[in-house]
A and B are shown apart, each in its own frame.
Chain A
Amino acid sequence: MEFTPRSIKANFTESLKDFTLRKNLTKATHHTIEKRDALKAAAPDWNKWRDAAAASRRESLLHLDRYLAQFENQFTALGGEVVHATTIEDARSKILDIIKAENGRTVVKAKSMVTEELELATFLNAQDIETWETDLGEFIIQLAGEHPSHITAPAIHKNRQQIAQLLHEKMGVPYTEDPELLTGYARQFLRQKYLDADVGISGGNFIIAETGQVILVENEANIRLSTVLPRIHIAVTGVEKVVPSQQDYANLMRLLPASATGQKMAGYVSALTPGVSGGPERMIVILLDAGRRQMLASEKWEMLACIRCGACLNVCPIFNRGGGHAYGSVYPGPMGSILTPGLSEPGNAPDHAFASSLCGACVDICPVKIPLTKLLLQTRGDVVNTHHKSWDNLAERSVWKSWSLMMRHPGIFRIMRWFGARIPVRFHWGSDARKLPRLAKETFLQQVRDGRFD
């Protein structure tokens, strides 16, 4: 699921020079955080809701198979179909098979991060199946030939002028910065695609075990059109998205829109079940594993509680400086730095977990109380252990080994310090402006040993 070969560090170096990016990004993320904070301040029970949401997600994860089986029973009893996909390739080929068997030619897609894992639109277009992203942000990204840079706001890195220019160039519409006109052009273009489409593909914010419902949360009503108009609706979702009951879903919805976009409630919430008159002829849920069960079995299992609200991205000082693309993976920011290596082969994405100062702002904001810094630290440990034979790692290990030796032998430490204090130069600390301070003439502990405070 990676799409850039460069290291995160090099990407961030580039991003730091891009002031437009920084401005676009921080303006949007700060605005969202402010709205979210206002909602939280107005909700005296926020922390109770958060506890309930956190507990509910863990309940799902602790009994995942039971709830998935219950969902499957309910969903199929209503006439739907459930397909299990173990890997990304598996999911792609099963989706393609369904579309081909139905002679599908055109697909409209709702916004979904799981389908980004599959790079589904690109994959289907390459198979001669015309596939369109219908979420405005995703549509912009598709036209630009880019990847989303944020999990809830895919085009957050672009400002209005950039979007105006893009639509002008790619769609041939007159240049305008009027958001309504721009949206209108996109809408006009996509309307026909909804009508042409044989298949609509969505993700799934939640799937409810008790009722067999698929929940989709959005603001543009494009998901409604994509899931209802075409003959066939395929919902692709990670296995971890199952929630036990409607009550759990209600608990989570108190926090999801607020955390994601700072809205008390999203514009449109659909609870879809198969076999509804006026709905699609076939409704299929693809339950994707793609590394999730591997993560569930690891000490980083709590990461699967994530409801993809994106708040940890908005609040992250690193994300706000680098932008989502700097991570070079589908999922950016704190959650992405744990998910990306966690969902892939051990040893992949070794730099992600180090792109954090461990400030913990993400932990404070996460609506389902994922201990993100703890999981980042565990991921760092994993990286060190899986790469134990690389040269970089061996070199760093030898530094820590010597450090450990020194720290366990205060006498050696004191001798090293004696030499250190006599180094006449001050070392650069990362870049030219910041230098490491000089060692104090006498340490505090030396003064204590000298009896200065007796």
Chain B
Amino acid sequence: MKVHLFIPCLVDQFTPQVGIACLKLLRATGHEVVIPTNQTCCGQPAFNSGFREEAREVAYHFKTIFHDAKIIVGPSGSCISMLKNHYRELGLIFPESVQVFEIVDFLSQYGQSLRFHSSPQRIGIHDACHALRELKLYDQPRELLKRIPGLDLVELNDGQACCGFGGTFSVKMAELSQDMAREKVKTIQAADVDTVVSLDGGCLMNIQSTAEGMGVTLHAKHVVEVLADAMISTGEQA
């Protein structure tokens, strides 16, 4: 299948390794990957702040850049939900022939050929709000990660509680956001893991930065980073 890769702005700017992981995984499953290099942002930050006009301008740009895409795949629940659920609130509608997936959702449906080598590690999982509630991605990341031999996936206490990111909420209501993020880091510590995975660039950045601020060693990763690391590449498989 021909897949257009959408790399959300935060991922592109701060964690390019997530983009690389997506690319590796998609190619390994035999899909043709198109990466429009003039893509920027889906418009979510302005939309969530109430600036709908500006959000629409940027969303329209996004749609133009991806105009010939039939399948759009990207890492980050909230950005994908923006395309799938909120574009229509801005009056922008994708034709019915266009399918949009969070990458983990896509891989859980079309990534059966992926093979993983053993990777003994304990990893905590935080359910990013929009991936969980707006895209209903709960089983998908768990099933994929459990295909990695030796990987011990640990559920966090209150794992579905928000990490406090919320886009510009983290700036406008900074103290509240900070308080929520600290609590999240504490539950990760309590689970005795030093790596936590999730499905949203924003949450991961928030958790990582908060942990650093608290002096806690923690690696916050997108699920695809762990998958790509443990993947047996086609060369090895052959």
Instruction: Report A's interface with B, CB cutoff 8 A.
Output: 9, 12-13, 16, 317-318, 321-322, 353-361, 363-364, 374, 377-378, 380-384, 396-397, 400-401, 403-404, 406-408, 410, 413, 417, 429-440, 442-445, 447-449, 453
B171, closest chain A residue (CB): A430
13 A–B contacts, CB within 8 A, in A order: A12-B173, A359-B133, A384-B52, A403-B45, A404-B46, A407-B43, A434-B181, A434-B206, A440-B13, A444-B20, A445-B12, A447-B20, A448-B37
Instruction: Report B's interface with A, CB cutoff 8 A.
Output: 7, 9, 11-16, 18-20, 23, 35, 37-41, 43, 45-52, 54, 57-58, 61, 86, 89, 129-130, 133-134, 160-162, 164-167, 169-182, 205-206, 208-210, 212-214
- State which of B7, B160, B177, B178 has its C-beta within 8 Å of the C-beta of A445: B7
- State which of A317, A400, A407, A438 has its C-beta within 8 Å of the C-beta of B61: A407
Do A443 and B209 contact each other (CB < 8 Å), given the known contacts A12-B173, A16-B176, A381-B52?
A: no
Please indicate the chain A residues that have their CB under 8 angstroms from the CB of B167 in the complex: 358
Given A432-B213, A440-B15, A448-B35; 8 other pairs, CB 8 A cutoff: A321-B180, A357-B170, A358-B129, A377-B48, A383-B50, A396-B51, A397-B51, A437-B14
- State which of B11, B50, B162, B205 has its C-beta within 8 Å of the C-beta of A381: B50
CB pair B213 A433 closer than 8 Å: yes
- State which of B38, B46, B164, B213 has its C-beta within 8 Å of the C-beta of A357: B164
* Cα–Cα distance between A211 and B72 once the two chains are bound (Å): 53
B174, closest chain A residue (CB): A430
Please indicate the chain A residues that have their CB under 8 angstroms from the CB of B174 in the complex: 429-431
Please indicate the chain B residues that have their CB under 8 angstroms from the CB of A410 in the complex: 37-40
CB pair B58 A408 closer than 8 Å: yes
Do A377 and B35 contact each other (CB < 8 Å), given the known contacts A357-B165, A360-B129, A360-B133?
A: no
CB pair A361 B180 closer than 8 Å: no
**Smallest distance from the beta carbon of A133 to chain B beta carbons, Å?**
31
Please indicate the chain A residues that have their CB under 8 angstroms from the CB of B41 in the complex: 407
CB pair A408 B173 closer than 8 Å: no
- State which of A317, A377, A382, A437 has its C-beta within 8 Å of the C-beta of B205: A437
CB pair B175 A430 closer than 8 Å: yes
Please indicate the chain B residues that have their CB under 8 angstroms from the CB of A408 in the complex: 40, 57-58, 61
Do A12 and B176 contact each other (CB < 8 Å), given the known contacts A439-B14, A443-B16, A444-B7?
A: yes
Please indicate the chain B residues that have their CB under 8 angstroms from the CB of A449 in the complex: 37
CB pair B40 A437 closer than 8 Å: no
* Cα–Cα distance between A67 and B37 once the two chains are bound (Å): 56
* Cα–Cα distance between A435 and B45 once the two chains are bound (Å): 19
Please indicate the chain A residues that have their CB under 8 angstroms from the CB of B171 in the complex: 429-430
CB pair B35 A354 closer than 8 Å: no
CB pair B35 A445 closer than 8 Å: yes
**Smallest distance from the beta carbon of B187 to chain A beta carbons, Å?**
13
Please indicate the chain B residues that have their CB under 8 angstroms from the CB of A439 in the complex: 13-14
**Smallest distance from the beta carbon of A19 to chain B beta carbons, Å?**
12
Please indicate the chain B residues that have their CB under 8 angstroms from the CB of A9 in the complex: 172-173
- Greatest chain A CB density within 10 A among B23, B48, B167 is at B48
* Cα–Cα distance between A438 and B161 once the two chains are bound (Å): 26
Please indicate the chain A residues that have their CB under 8 angstroms from the CB of B89 in the complex: 374, 377-378
* Cα–Cα distance between A440 and B13 once the two chains are bound (Å): 6
Please indicate the chain B residues that have their CB under 8 angstroms from the CB of A407 in the complex: 9, 40-41, 43, 57-58, 61
* Cα–Cα distance between A437 and B212 once the two chains are bound (Å): 10
* Cα–Cα distance between A383 and B174 once the two chains are bound (Å): 20
* Cα–Cα distance between A356 and B173 once the two chains are bound (Å): 9
Please indicate the chain B residues that have their CB under 8 angstroms from the CB of A353 in the complex: 50
* Cα–Cα distance between A102 and B170 once the two chains are bound (Å): 55
CB pair A360 B51 closer than 8 Å: no
CB pair B50 A404 closer than 8 Å: no
Closest 5 CB pairs of A and B: A430-B174, A357-B166, A433-B213, A380-B50, A444-B19
Please indicate the chain B residues that have their CB under 8 angstroms from the CB of A434 in the complex: 178, 181, 206, 209-210, 212-213
CB pair A356 B213 closer than 8 Å: no
Do A356 and B16 contact each other (CB < 8 Å), given the known contacts A404-B57, A431-B174?
A: no
Please indicate the chain B residues that have their CB under 8 angstroms from the CB of A318 in the complex: 173, 176
CB pair B57 A317 closer than 8 Å: no
* Cα–Cα distance between A384 and B46 once the two chains are bound (Å): 11
CB pair B19 A357 closer than 8 Å: no
* Cα–Cα distance between A382 and B13 once the two chains are bound (Å): 31
Please indicate the chain A residues that have their CB under 8 angstroms from the CB of B161 in the complex: 317
CB pair A435 B40 closer than 8 Å: no
* Cα–Cα distance between A378 and B160 once the two chains are bound (Å): 25
- State which of B57, B209, B214 has its C-beta within 8 Å of the C-beta of A436: B209
* Cα–Cα distance between A357 and B86 once the two chains are bound (Å): 16
CB pair A358 B14 closer than 8 Å: no
